[in-house]
C-alpha cells in the first residue's frame, strides 16, 4: 500500500534562518506531488506541484522554493524565513490519472519566531 512520510512534525525557527521540509512517498511510482500551506483556521493554499522529477510549478510568488530530486521525494525550502512563513505545511500525492484524490502527509507545524 502507498504511504507518505513528512517530517519534521513541528519546527520552531528564527527569522532569517533556512528551511528544509522533506516528504517521501512509498508504494507508488511517478506520483504527482504537492505542497500546501494552511494558516491557522484557514483553507489550503497550494504552493507547488510536480508531475515528475525536476518539474516544479509554483502557484504563488513567495519566499519558498521546491525541488524534486527523486521520483518520490519532494522538498520545500527557504533561504531566509519570514514571520509570515509560519503555518501548517502539508505534502500530498495523487496518482498520474487526472481527477484522482489526494493523500496528505501528517503535516509540519512551522513557527517562525
Beta-carbon count within 10 A of 49 CB: 20
Site for another protein in 1-30 (CB under 8 A): none
CA dist 33 and 56 (Å) reads: 9
Contact call for residue 99 and another protein (CB under 8 A) = yes
Least Cα distance to 110 among 4, 19, 23 occurs for 19
Applying CB under 8 A, among 107, 110, 111, 112 the residue interacting with another protein is: 107
Contact call for residue 106 and another protein (CB under 8 A) = yes
**Piece of the chain touching another protein by CB under 8 A; list 20-28, 67-75, 79-87, 102-110:** 102-110
Task: Point out which residues pair with 10 in neighbouring strands.
Answer: 109
CA dist 105 and 43 (Å) reads: 16
> Residue 7 or 104: which CB sits closer to another protein?
104
| Residues at the site binding another protein, with contacts judged by CB under 8 A | 32, 34, 41-44, 46, 49, 51, 90, 94, 98-99, 101-107
Amino acid at each position: 500500500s502507498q504511504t507518505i512520510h513528512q517530517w519534521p512534525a513541528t519546527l520552531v525557527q528564527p527569522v532569517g534562518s533556512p528551511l528544509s521540509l522533506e516528504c517521501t512517498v512509498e508504494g507508488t511510482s511517478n506520483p504527482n506531488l504537492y505542497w500546501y500551506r494552511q494558516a491557522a483556521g484557514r483553507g489550503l493554499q497550494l504552493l507547488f506541484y510536480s508531475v515528475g522529477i525536476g518539474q516544479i510549478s509554483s502557484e504563488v510568488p513567495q519566499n519558498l522554493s521546491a525541488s524534486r530530486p527523486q521520483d518520490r521525494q519532494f522538498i520545500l525550502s527557504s533561504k531566509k524565513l519570514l514571520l509570515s512563513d509560519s503555518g501548517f505545511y502539508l505534502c500530498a500525492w495523487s496518482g498520474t490519472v487526472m481527477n484522482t484524490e489526494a493523500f496528505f502527509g501528517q503535516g509540519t507545524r512551522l513557527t517562525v519566531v
